[in-house]
Amino acid sequence: MKDLIIVSSYCDTKDKEDILRNLVNQCYKENSFDLMVVSHTTIPDDISKKTTLSLYDSKNELLYDWDLRSKPWFNPGNEREIQSIFTGFFNSHLAIWRMIILGNSVAKNLGYKKVHHIEYDCDIKDFTEIYDNSKLLDTYDCITYTKIIDTIDNILFGTYQAYRLDTLHNDLLILDEEKIKSQIRASNTKSPEGMLFDLLHTNKKGFVKNKSLLDINNDFGLSHTQNTHTAWCLPYYDRLTEELCFIVWNMEEPGRDIEVKVIYNDDQVFDFGIISPKRWMIKTIGDINDVEKMVVILNNKIRDVFNFTNNKEEFKQVSFRKKFDR
């Protein structure tokens, strides 16, 4: 039986649909793998006809509650990390895992042994790595990738993983959405990549490679380099100084400046001015106990409105700078 490639997708624009179409055409032309597309958006007929299996799942639940949102970190100046849930506006963790679990469960019931999960935003001209991973799965339970060169850790590159279905953790085969939410709440970083790494590798025989191997003649994770919003433009509580601060980090491509203003308690304006790409800036806003409201304006449009009247203590737990380096 052939290995199965499971492509998970959410293509709500024509550009994203064309990226998926290109990937499906590449897999179809290779003709060495069976192909399943699992999507939270409808799958066009011309794409579906080139797959072995197509699964459209209309449920695409996004998590907005503060205790369910991812908490990425940034370490400006290589001292005292900042962690915050406000780099995005929701967590798509549950929606993504739902697609993966539905795909895995159908695949196992159909008798597949090896799965290559790929997110739709990839351009694969050379399948050498996938062939190599298929051979490795004769010995290993899973193969994952990290962006850290020569380092094996749990910073998983989420766009591609290969694994055996007969040894796969049940949490990746049986859909239990309330359990997933509970696991997210209990996680410190709430990182889907970190949680997936643990499920794939804990008590398993796993193999970790560097992500650069995937990109030999290929592009994996195209959307990772196409920022749709400025992530680090947010307030945080400094646990060392006990003050409210604000950070802006322009992660955009060269030539894409950003402009940020912060209106604090309706009567104070902090103007960050124009920030060029690859630069970051921090300003101290004031005593955390005095804060009531904040309006964040990015490129002359309101990005966020924070009302601190009833959730100040909760805010301190979800957006903060560490007191110590470690």
Two structure tokens written together for 136? 């490795």
What pLDDT is recorded for position 77? 81
Give the CATH number of domain 230-321.
2.60.40
Does the domain at 4-224 match CATH 3.90.550? Answer given as: yes
**pLDDT band at 326, cuts 50/70/90?**
low
Strand ranges (E), 57-125: 73-74, 82-84, 114-119, 122-124
**pLDDT band at 76, cuts 50/70/90?**
confident
SS3 194: helix
Q: Rounded CA gap, 210 and 219, in Å?
A: 14
Q: Where in the chain is the domain with CATH 2.60.40?
A: 230-321
Q: Give the tens place of pLDDT for each residue, 153-200.
A: 447 888 999 999 999 999 999 999 999 999 999 887 778 888 899 999
Q: Rounded CA gap, 166 and 170, in Å?
A: 10
Two structure tokens written together for 160? 């591609």
What pLDDT is recorded for position 224? 60
What pLDDT is recorded for position 254? 74
Neighbours of 12 (CB within 10 A): 11
What pLDDT is recorded for position 153? 45
Two structure tokens written together for 70? 């991812």
What pLDDT is recorded for position 226? 53
What pLDDT is recorded for position 79? 84
Residue 274: CA count within 13 A, CB half-sphere: 4
Q: Give the tens place of pLDDT for each residue, 1-55.
A: 999 999 999 999 999 999 999 999 999 999 999 999 999 999 999 999 999 999 9
Q: Rounded CA gap, 311 and 326, in Å?
A: 27
As beta bridge partners, residue 238 has 243, 321
Query: Given a cut of 50, is residue 152 above it in pLDDT?
Result: no
**pLDDT band at 148, cuts 50/70/90?**
low
Q: What phi and psi, each to the nearest 5 degrees, are found at residue 73?
A: -125, 155
Q: Where in the chain is the domain with CATH 3.90.550?
A: 4-224
| In the chain, % of residues over pLDDT 90 | 77
For the segment 208-229, the average pLDDT, to the nearest whole number, is: 81
With a CB cutoff of 8 Å and minimum separation 6, the contacts of 152 are 146, 208
State the average pLDDT for the chain: 91
Query: Given a cut of 50, is residue 294 above it in pLDDT?
Result: yes
Q: Give the tens place of pLDDT for each residue, 222-278.
A: 876 555 568 899 999 999 999 999 999 998 777 789 999 999 998 899 999 999 988
